[in-house]
Chains A and B, each alone.
Chain A
Amino acid sequence: MAQADFVSPTSIDVSEKKEVEFHKKVDHVENPPLSTESAKLEAEEVAAEKLNSEHLLENEFAPITDPTHRRVSKNPDGAELFQFEDEPSYYYVVATYLTYLVLIIIGHVRDFFGKRFHKDDYKYLKDNDGYAPLYNHFDNFYVRRLQHRINDCFSRPTMGVPGRVIRLMNRYSTDSNSTFKLTGDTSLALNVSSYNYLGFAQSHGPCATKVEEAMQKYGLSTCSSNAICGTYGLHKEVEELTANFVGKPAALVFSQGFSTNATVFSTLMCPGSLIISDELNHTSIRFGARLSGANIRVYKHNDMTDLERVLREVISQGQPRTHRPYSKILVVIEGLYSMEGNFCDLPKVVELKNRYKFYLFIDEAHSIGAIGPRGGGICDYFGISTDHVDILMGTFTKSFGAAGGYISATPNIINKLRVTNPGYVYAESMSPAVLAQIKSSFLEIMDNSPTSAGLERIERLAFNSRYIRLGLKRLGFIIFGNDDSPVVPLLLYNPGKINAFSHEMLKRGIAVVVVGYPACPLLTSRVRFCFSASHNKADMDYFLRACDEVGEKLQLKFSTGAAGEDVGKTNVEKMKKNQGWFKPPRWKIEDVLKHGVHDALTQ
């Protein structure tokens, strides 16, 4: 199924307007206004703000409960990146495959009878009056027979700003999730589904004020592309701020994050060159790599041995058939993999780069702002200079509460992109309101004084990530990724648990995003939590209690103890002391909460 990111914080104002319009339609259908006065009164105030009026500020960003709940996000000196993936017992693996087999059989049986007794429903999959069908039956089978069953977990309509909490509009379905009807009321849920890493999804505060001023001054849109008359002074300022923040001489700002990756490779690469891509790179990188016409090779996820093997092979053998050398080789990796929650092994990649002299491209869409002592991303986290990286790409949609993406590199690369990149030359330029949001969040993050609000956000996120990961590991769940990552994938395996977990958590007032095939492998269905600086310890304790109860209920505590119940490095030392013996961690929730803060800060 597609990964449904229904609470992606794009432009705050745009999302607000859309939600308000949606609410008005619902109000008209379900609850017609009793009188003109009440309708007028309701229209004057934004519906979400009216509902959230009591705790409006805290609903977007919770105050910190203890000033010690902060830590620096940094890789310990000389420490190797700990990567381990636990596995459940065979009972759950076999049950998962059997369930998928049964679902596929049921789907085919229903299709067999449906094609004969309900022909109209399958018209779009058959030849019709000499015209070939637009939809492929095989491709459509998954959506029609499998994804529909869990459709109510995705694309939930929301209201207001998805900050610390999110307001969901309740709905139900009477035709097996083909269509939904809204009930007219809403649910306020803890938001662990947004990429709101630094908590800048706010409709109040300094960033929102700057956005309003920018709209007054510049308007909503430039109504033009960068190459014509859509480049304002604000664009230059944001480009300069971006370059300074990531530590590169120049930067380029795009109006859409996906198109940044989708268009950049066709400008840099050409037939006769080679792109070496990680196995789990984002689909925007795959899409852009295919568009470029370059040869593409793939290596195993985060496996530096396999990357070196591929490099030696392509350098010695050259291009296919002719065996001429490649004109250039570009290795593409991500700083923080959004579905796995782990970092790239940057120190080893840089070692290989110094030896084999390839170009290095890092996609920091998730890692920029989310990791590192100053929020500078994966290079900041490992303490490696950005001079070792040729091209740094990132997005403003995650940690900055805005939209769009950027490319940061040397001036000659940036100048070439300015005149040849279709994502820059032909696309509309960034909206001034979004640029104002980016600029104000940048200025807040780049403030390095001890009382900086931006520094507080970065260090709160680092603490929250470590605290949650430790807690979930100790409760007994299989958690993927590195221990400083704000992306926390919790493994579910059985397809029945994908839907059930989302339902159980929503009943307890927590909005989560569940992920299944094809966004991840068939066996490892998961739920992916994204924690934010806007959460405090009370939120995380509530979340851990809910996970503990739901985990017991759904039998999700698969951990064998091989991945440990402490931060990775510590666990390796403990395993060596015990000569490799380990037991499954099954802490009680009270013990987890008691030791969580101390261990998160000291390990």
Chain B
Amino acid sequence: MGNPVVIKAKKDYDCVFEPEPMSWLRLQYYRYQVTAGTYLFTYKEAFVFNTVVFIIVFLTGWAAKSIIVKLLPSLWRLSTLIPSFFASFFMSLLGKDASSQ
């Protein structure tokens, strides 16, 4: 929709198939269009829809970022305990081996 585009065969049918490559980025956007349905929309509808989707994704990302930032001090404190956890884990393994002997 929007500007008139004539959908027609590239050439008359003659049994010779010519692949039509497409760049990866454009292919991903094309897949998004056909899966989300914006392929059917007019330009205005597609603009509004994409704006809404962008806002939702942006707000979701913002919320995730805010939560992570709030949890960052406690996450950092937990991360400092990781080396000692692994050390005690391996020591217990060694201890088990020694006791069996």
Chain A interfacial positions (CB closer than 8 Å to B): 92, 95, 98-99, 102-103, 106, 149-150, 152, 165, 168, 170-174, 176-177, 181, 183, 185, 187-190, 494-497, 499-500, 502-503, 506-510, 538-539, 541-542, 545-546, 549, 553-555
Contacts and interface: CB of A to CB of B under 8 A. Distances in A.
B42 interface: yes
B36 A546 contact: no
Contact of B31 (A165, A177, A554): A554
A177 B35 CA distance: 21
27 contacts: A99-B36, A150-B40, A165-B13, A168-B9, A172-B5, A176-B42, A183-B6, A187-B8, A187-B9, A187-B12, A188-B13, A495-B40, A496-B33, A496-B34, A496-B40, A499-B40, A502-B7, A508-B10, A508-B20, A510-B13, A539-B15, A553-B30, A553-B31, A554-B31, A554-B34, A555-B31, A555-B34
Interface in B23-42: 27, 30-31, 33-42
Given A496-B34, A554-B31, 8 more contacts: A99-B35, A189-B9, A495-B40, A496-B35, A497-B34, A510-B13, A553-B22, A555-B31
B19 A549 contact: yes
Contacts of B11: 509
A542 B40 contact: no
Interface in B41-71: 41-42, 45, 49
Nearest to B27: A553
A interface majority secondary structure: helix
Nearest to A554: B34
A557 to B, nearest CB: 12
Contacts of B82: none
B17 interface: yes
A95 B34 CA distance: 10
Contact of A494 (B22, B35, B42): B35
Nearest to B1: A176
B95 interface: no
Contacts of B31: 553-555
B73 interface: no
Contacts of A495: 37, 40
A542 B5 CA distance: 25
A500 B1 contact: no
A174 to B, nearest CB: 5
A317 B11 CA distance: 64
B83 interface: no
Interface of B: 1, 4-13, 15-17, 19-20, 22, 27, 30-31, 33-42, 45, 49
A270 to B, nearest CB: 47
Contacts of B40: 103, 149-150, 495-496, 499
Given A170-B8, A176-B42, A102 B1 contact: no
Contact of B35 (A95, A174, A539): A95
Contact of A508 (B9, B37, B39): B9
Of B7, B12, B15, B16, most A-chain CB atoms within 10 Å: B7
Contacts of A555: 31, 34-35
Given A494-B37, A496-B34, A555-B35, A172 B6 contact: yes
B32 to A, nearest CB: 10
A297 to B, nearest CB: 38
B18 to A, nearest CB: 8
Nearest to B33: A496
B37 A189 contact: no
A499 B17 CA distance: 22
A96 to B, nearest CB: 9
A507 B37 contact: no
Contacts of A554: 31, 34
A168 B13 CA distance: 12
B38 A168 contact: no
A496 B36 contact: yes
A549 B17 CA distance: 11
Given A149-B40, A500-B39, A174 B4 contact: yes
A150 B41 CA distance: 10
A503 B6 CA distance: 10
B65 to A, nearest CB: 25
The 9 A-B pairs of least Cβ separation, nearest first, read A99-B37, A188-B12, A187-B9, A172-B4, A509-B13, A496-B39, A509-B9, A496-B34, A170-B8
B31 to A, nearest CB: 6
